[in-house]
C-alpha cells in the first residue's frame, strides 16, 4: 500500500470480515427460510423475497463494515485484490488475503447455523442438488461481473457507490442467472449447512467454487483491459478503507478545495495552469502541479508568455507526482497512462498542444486556452469566488503577481 496509507489493524479487519460474511449468509439463508414458510409452493415469490432481503442486507453490511475491512465478504474478491496489487505494492498481502478467506468461510458457516437456530431448523447438510453445467456457466458470469464491478468502481473513484451498486448487481443476478448468483466460495460453503430453500449439497460445492474462480479470472482480465492501471487502487476495494496519516505534524484535512494539474514534463501546460490558477484563486484554492517525467525547468517560451502577461513563473520547479497526495480535482494534460490516480478526486483531461519549441504566437494561443479552462474550473469548484477579468484582457501593469516563497 502507498506510503501514508494506514489500514485498520488486521485483527479488526478480520473481525469485520467474519461478522459481515456471517451476517450476509444469515440474511440469505434466513430470508430463504422465511420466504418458504410464508409462500409455500410459490418459488417465484420465494425468490423475490430472498433476493430483496439480500440486496438490502448486503448494502447495509457494506456501509457498516466497509470502512474497517473494505467489505470483501468474498474470498475471490480478496484473492483478486492481492493478485492485482502485489506488483504495485497495493492491496492485501498474501498473508492477509489468506486470513480474509479463512474467516470469511468460517463466518459463512456460522451465519448459516445462526439462521437455522433463529427459525428452529435443524442444522444438516443441504439436499438441494446444484450440479448442472448451466449453473456453472451462471456462476462464471455472475462472479466475473461482480469482480469487474468492484474494481471498476474503485478505479473510477466511485467507491462510495459500491454498497448500492454491489447490492443491486447481485439482486439482479439472482434473476438473470439460473444459479441465483452465489458468486462467492465462502457463501457457497456456508449454504451447504442449511437444508432449506437457499441450500446446496456438498457434492455440488466444488463445481460452483471452480466456476467462481474462473469467473473471477475473467472479471480481472476484463477490468485490466478497461482500466490498465487498476492495480493502483487495490487498497480501495470494495470501499475505501485506508486512511491518510498526517504528514509533518500537520492536519490531514483542509477546508480548501485542491487542484492538481498533471502533464508529462511539468514545464509547460501544467506549470502555466498552476500559475494562472494561483493568480485567480489567491488563497481560496490549493494548487499543485507535477509531471510523469519532470523536466529541469519551466520551458523558456512558456515563461516568456506568462511574463508578458504579468505573471511570474520563476518559482515553478518541475516535480514528480506525490503518491500520497489527496486532491479535490485532477486535471491531466498529455501524460497518458502515466497520469496518476487519486481516490475521491474528480478528473478532467484537457487536450492541449505541447508548447515546447513552439513559436511565441502558438505558445500564447495555448496559454490563452489554458486560461479559459482554468477560469471555468475555478468557477465550478468555488462558485462564490469573485474572479478578476482574464489576464488576457488586462494591461500588464494592472496585475498583481502571486508572491513566490
- Residue labelled with grid coordinates 456457466: 137
* Beta strands, E only, 192-285: 243-244, 258-263
Q: What are residue 349's DSSP bridge partners?
A: 332
151's grid cell: 474494481
Instruction: Kindly give, in sequence order, each residue whose CB lies less than 8 Å from that of residue 210, ignoring residues fewer than 6 positions away.
Output: 136
DSSP class of residue 320 equals B
Report the distance separating Cα 278 and Cα 204, nearest Å.
63
> What is the rounded distance in angstroms from the CA atom of residue 1 to the CA atom of residue 378?
32
Domains of the chain: 5-243 (1.20.1080.10), 258-398 (3.40.50.2300)
**Whole-prediction pTM value?**
0.64
pLDDT per residue, tens digit, the chain (405 aa), is 333 345 678 999 999 999 999 999 999 999 999 999 999 999 999 999 999 999 999 999 999 999 899 999 999 999 999 998 886 677 888 999 999 999 999 999 999 999 999 999 999 999 999 999 999 999 999 999 999 999 998 887 777 789 999 999 999 999 999 999 999 999 999 999 999 999 999 999 999 999 999 999 999 999 999 988 787 777 777 766 554 444 333 334 457 899 999 999 999 999 999 999 999 998 899 999 999 899 999 999 999 999 999 999 988 999 998 877 889 999 999 887 788 888 778 888 999 999 999 999 999 999 999 999 999 999 999 989 989 899 998 765 445 544 444
CB 178 within 8 A of CB 135: yes
Cell reading at 291: 509531471
Residue holding cell 502507498?
2
Cα–Cα distance for residue pair 143/153, rounded to 1 Å: 16
Grid cell for residue 352: 492541449
Instruction: State which H helix or E strand residue 281 sits in.
Output: helix 269-281
What's the rounded Cα separation, in Å, for the pair 184 and 239?
A: 18
- Give the closest residue to 331 by CA, choosing from 282, 269, 280, 379: 269
Amino acid at each position: 500500500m502507498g506510503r501514508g496509507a494506514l489500514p485498520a489493524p488486521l485483527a479488526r479487519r478480520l473481525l469485520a470480515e467474519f461478522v459481515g460474511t456471517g451476517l450476509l449468509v444469515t440474511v440469505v439463508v434466513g430470508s430463504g427460510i422465511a420466504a418458504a414458510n410464508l409462500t409455500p409452493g410459490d418459488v417465484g415469490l420465494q425468490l423475490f423475497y430472498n433476493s430483496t432481503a439480500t440486496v438490502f442486507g448486503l448494502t447495509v453490511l457494506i456501509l457498516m463494515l466497509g470502512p474497517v475491512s473494505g467489505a470483501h465478504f468474498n474470498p475471490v474478491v480478496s484473492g483478486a485484490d492481492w493478485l492485482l496489487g502485489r506488483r504495485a505494492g497495493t492491496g492485501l498481502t498474501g498473508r492477509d488475503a489468506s486470513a480474509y478467506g479463512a474467516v470469511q468461510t468460517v463466518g459463512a458457516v456460522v451465519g448459516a447455523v445462526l439462521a437455522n437456530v433463529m427459525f428452529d431448523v435443524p442444522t444438516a447438510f443441504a439436499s438441494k442438488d446444484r450440479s448442472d453445467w448451466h449453473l456453472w456457466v451462471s456462476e462464471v458470469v455472475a462472479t466475473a461481473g461482480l469482480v469487474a464491478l468492484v474494481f471498476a468502481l474503485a478505479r473510477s473513484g466511485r467507491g462510495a457507490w459500491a454498497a448500492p451498486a454491489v447490492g443491486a448487481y447481485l439482486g439482479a443476478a439472482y434473476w438473470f442467472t439460473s444459479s441465483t448468483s452465489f458468486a462467492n466460495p465462502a457463501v457457497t460453503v456456508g449454504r451447504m449447512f442449511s437444508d432449506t430453500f437457499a441450500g446446496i449439497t456438498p457434492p455440488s460445492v466444488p463445481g460452483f467454487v471452480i466456476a467462481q474462480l474462473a469467473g473471477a479470472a475473467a472479471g480481472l482480465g476484463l477490468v485490466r483491459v478497461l482500466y490498465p492501471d487498476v492495480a493502483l487502487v487495490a487498497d480501495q476495494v470494495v470501499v475505501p478503507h485506508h486512511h491518510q496519516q498526517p504528514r509533518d505534524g500537520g492536519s490531514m484535512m483542509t477546508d480548501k478545495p485542491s487542484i492538481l494539474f498533471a502533464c508529462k514534463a511539468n514545464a509547460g501546460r501544467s506549470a502555466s495552469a498552476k500559475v494562472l490558477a494561483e493568480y485567480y484563486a489567491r488563497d481560496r484554492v490549493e494548487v499543485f502541479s507535477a509531471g510523469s517525467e519532470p523536466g529541469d525547468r519551466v520551458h523558456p517560451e512558456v515563461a516568456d508568455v506568462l511574463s508578458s502577461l504579468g505573471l511570474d513563473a520563476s518559482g515553478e520547479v518541475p516535480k514528480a507526482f506525490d503518491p500520497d497526495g489527496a486532491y479535490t480535482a485532477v486535471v491531466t494534460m498529455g501524460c497518458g497512462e502515466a497520469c496518476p490516480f487519486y481516490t475521491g478526486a474528480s478528473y478532467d483531461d484537457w487536450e492541449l498542444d505541447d508548447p515546447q519549441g513552439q513559436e511565441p504566437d502558438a505558445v500564447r494561443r495555448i496559454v490563452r486556452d489554458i486560461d479559459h479552462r482554468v477560469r471555468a474550473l475555478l468557477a465550478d469548484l468555488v462558485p462564490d469566488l469573485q474572479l478578476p477579468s482574464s489576464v488576457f484582457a488586462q494591461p500588464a501593469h494592472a496585475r498583481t503577481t502571486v508572491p513566490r516563497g
